[in-house]
Amino acid sequence: MEKILIVGCSKTMDDICIGCSRCLVGFNRKQGAFEAYQGKDVELIGLLGCGDCPGQGVVVRLAQFKLWNAPMEEKPTAIHVAPCIVQHCPHKDTLIKKIEAKAGVPVVEGTHPYLPADIFA
Ligand code: SF4
């Protein structure tokens, strides 16, 4: 069973990308980066904010996630970094390097495929 943790931008989650619904729907439909899980057993076990700018807190946030989920014995088998980081964060290279260095599981750039190409066309 694959267990997915999504890491997103603390400034964007919920207040800008309302309800994080694009990541959730993309996961449920196995679209975008989640296409890789077609035909596989997979669960989403968390949506974690990076810990705010400039991204220094992300490793601590991962450790907090581990502690918080220890009573349920839930751990991710892969981390997906959301488009709010991959496409929009000025600190994304640092963030992704930190996650890759400490996660101990595969780190995938990308989640949902629903970013609009433009606003008014
Ligand atoms: S470090 Fe990047 S991902 Fe985190 S809050 Fe700031 S802009 Fe968002």
What are the distances in angstroms from CA 34 to CA 37, 41, 98, 118?
A: 6, 12, 22, 23
Indicate which residue's Cα is closest to atom 7 of ligand 1.
89
Q: Is the pLDDT of residue 119 over 90?
A: no
Strands (E), the chain: 2-8, 13-14, 17-18, 42-49, 78-81, 107-109
Q: What's the pTM?
A: 0.95
Indicate which residue's Cα is closest to atom 3 of ligand 1.
9
Encode pLDDT of 99-117 as tens digits: 999 999 999 999 999 998 8
Residue 27 has which token pair? 């996961």
Report whether 51 contacts 57 (CB < 8 A): yes
53 lines ligand 1 (CB under 6 A): yes
Encode pLDDT of 37-64 as tens digits: 999 999 999 999 999 999 999 999 999 9
Mutation pick for ligand 1 pocket among 47, 89, 109, 111 (CB with most ligand atoms within 8 Å): 89
